């Protein structure tokens, strides 16, 4: 894999000739919609096929995999587009193996999805996942679960050998985290016991593989209640063969102040849970000043603290899959960024003919544009370069893997990096 950054005067043909690959290879792998209008500063992943197969009449995915001694999952990872084709078309060229100059071995990847995810996006993404966390079940203080429409997604995950996880979060009717709902449950022993029983029953009945706990903005005074709940749930799940993962705010020290951080006790929760997701994103967010969502220097500080108090083999590094577009000038308390996908960020850049810049400290791309109303904007997003920099932190810190928030939009740059650097572990 080579990550190429487009220069003035470049064309798809000139880049392809430079690396001895076809233009179609670059277009297909990167899912380019602007192949004839590349942006200066745009990153492209160049892959080098070593073994290919031309589909013949009667070929099947499983038959081809068996012929070459690879898994169907590997074929889907190398050729994501076939996940949504009912039959292989004769004459189609499939890549059996790309050249891999580096391989850091197995990692776990968990990713979050809402029940309304586009099924085409989901099928393309599942081959790259170990776990799929379905967001989100709510609950009442009395211990009743507030369910989601998850049956189809659970089966789809299992069809791709991906373990589905039931996400539990204290959310209000508006879809916001509510520490009042969490507090009411923590302080209601009977309701909490009933909730834990209902969780186990739901996991068993729905054929989940475990539970992912995402409690944010827990009151500091509820810290012990939160830890006790996690411990009690773990004790109920573990004997039945189910895992427990917990999402934790991005802390850089045990004494970090703030509602988001104080109840998230890294060493104690890390000792209980099977895995923890360190939510290393949202430095740049809807109401923040313009900046990268997950600046590498900030992510590194969180991981440094995390591995000092939690077994690194339990840690999943948070990975954002979205971008922000801020109107300028930024006015604190008034400005609001628009959430877009990383692919939309490129499309918007093409629309306005931008030049993409790259911030070395945060290892993230950004650009400016002026819309038709004369309002200046700045867009911070992720590309293959920023994904490459972040994913390389996993072997550096000897982490278990990554947790992606979220996979509602397919981002080729992320999965190309994953496919070239790692083998995605499967537990089913």
pLDDT tens, residue by residue, 280-320: 999 999 999 999 999 999 999 999 999 999 999 999 999 99
Token reading at 274: 């099977």
pLDDT of residue 47: 98
Is residue 129 within 8 Å of 163, Cβ to Cβ?
no
Residue 421: strand, helix, or coil = helix
What average pLDDT score do residues 96-111 get? Answer: 97
The alpha-helical segments, DSSP class H, found in 55-118 are 61-68, 72-78
> pLDDT tens digit string along 349-397?
999 999 999 999 999 999 999 999 999 999 999 999 999 999 999 999 9
Q: Do 150 and 157 form a contact (C-beta atoms < 8 A)?
A: no
Confidence of residue 85 (pLDDT cuts 50, 70, 90): confident
Domains in the chain and their CATH numbers?
2-98 (3.10.350.10), 106-327+378-424 (3.20.20.80)
The pLDDT value given to residue 377: 98
**Per-residue confidence at 84, pLDDT binned at 50, 70, 90?**
confident
Asked if pLDDT for residue 153 goes beyond 90, the answer is: yes
Contacts by 52-60, CB closer than 8 A, 24 or more apart: 52/93, 52/94, 52/95, 52/96, 53/93, 53/94, 53/96, 54/91, 54/92, 54/93, 54/94, 55/88, 55/89, 55/90, 55/91, 55/92, 55/93, 55/94, 56/90, 57/90, 59/88, 59/90, 60/88
Whether 197 shows a pLDDT value over 90: the answer reads yes
If one counts every other C-beta atom within 10 angstroms of the C-beta of residue 210, the result is 22
Peptide bond into 285 cis (omega under 30): no
Task: Please report which confidence band the pLDDT of residue 174 belongs to, taking 50, 70 and 90 as the band edges.
Answer: confident
Q: Would the pLDDT of 212 be above 90?
A: yes
The mean pLDDT value for 156-166 works out to 98
CA dihedral (14, 20, 21, 22) in degrees, to 10, reads 50
When pLDDT is cut at 50, 70 and 90, the band that residue 241 belongs to is: very high
413: left (phi over 0), alpha (psi -120 to 50) or beta: alpha
Contact 208, 242 (CB under 8 A): yes
Catalytic residue annotation:
216
Write down the pLDDT at residue 175: 84
Helix (H, G, I), strand (E, B) or coil at 321: coil
Residue 27 in this model has a pLDDT that exceeds 90: yes
List the beta strands (DSSP E) in 304-350: 315-320, 323-327, 338-340
Q: What is the pLDDT at residue 401?
A: 98
- pLDDT score of 173 more than 90: no
pTM of the model: 0.97
Which residues share a beta bridge with 213? 168, 246
Q: Tell me what the pLDDT averaged over the chain comes to.
A: 97
Judge if the upstream peptide bond of residue 300 is cis by omega within 30 degrees of 0. no
* CA angle in degrees (0–180, nearest 5) for 211-214-220: 130
């Amino acid at each position: 894999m080579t990550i190429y950054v487009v220069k003035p005067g470049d064309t798809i043909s000139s880049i392809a000739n430079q690396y001895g690959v076809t233009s179609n290879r670059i277009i297909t792998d990167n899912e380019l919609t602007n192949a004839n209008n590349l942006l200066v500063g745009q990153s492209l992943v160049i892959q080098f096929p070593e073994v290919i197969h031309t589909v013949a009449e009667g070929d099947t995915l499983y038959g081809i995999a068996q012929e070459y001694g690879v898994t169907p999952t590997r074929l889907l990872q190398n050729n994501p587009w076939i996940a949504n084709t009912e039959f292989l078309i004769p004459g189609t060229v499939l890549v059996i193996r790309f050249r891999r100059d580096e391989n850091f071995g197995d990692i776990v990847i968990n990713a979050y999805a809402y029940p309304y995810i586009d099924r085409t996006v989901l099928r393309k993404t599942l081959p790259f996942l170990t776990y799929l966390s379905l967001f989100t079940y709510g609950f009442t203080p009395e211990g009743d679960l507030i369910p989601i429409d998850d049956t189809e997604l659970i089966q789809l995950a299992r069809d791709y050998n991906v373990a589905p996880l039931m996400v539990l979060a204290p959310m209000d009717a508006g879809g916001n985290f509510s520490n009042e709902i969490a507090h009411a449950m923590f302080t209601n022993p009977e309701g909490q016991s009933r909730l834990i029983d209902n969780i186990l029953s739901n996991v068993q009945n729905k054929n989940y593989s475990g539970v992912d706990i995402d409690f944010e903005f827990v009151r500091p005074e509820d810290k012990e209640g939160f830890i006790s709940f996690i411990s009690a749930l773990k004790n109920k799940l573990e004997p039945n063969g189910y895992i427990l993962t917990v999402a934790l705010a991005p802390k850089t020290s045990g004494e970090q102040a703030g509602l988001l951080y104080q109840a998230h006790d890294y060493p104690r929760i890390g000792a209980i849970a099977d895995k923890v997701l360190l939510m290393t994103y949202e430095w740049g967010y809807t109401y923040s000043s313009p900046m990268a969502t997950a600046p590498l220097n900030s992510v590194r500080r969180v991981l440094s603290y995390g591995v000092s108090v939690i077994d690194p083999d339990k840690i999943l590094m948070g990975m954002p899959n979205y971008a922000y577009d801020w109107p300028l000038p930024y006015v604190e308390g008034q400005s609001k960024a628009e959430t877009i996908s990383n692919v939309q960020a490129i499309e918007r850049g093409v629309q306005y003919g931008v030049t993409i810049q790259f911030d070395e400290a945060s290892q993230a791309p950004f650009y400016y544009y002026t819309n038709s109303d004369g309002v200046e904007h700045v867009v911070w997003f992720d590309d293959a370069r920023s994904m490459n920099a972040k994913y390389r932190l996993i072997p550096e810190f000897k982490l278990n893997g990554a947790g992606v928030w979220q996979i509602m939009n397919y981002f080729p740059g992320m999965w190309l990096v994953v496919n070239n650097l790692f083998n995605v572990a499967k537990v089913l």
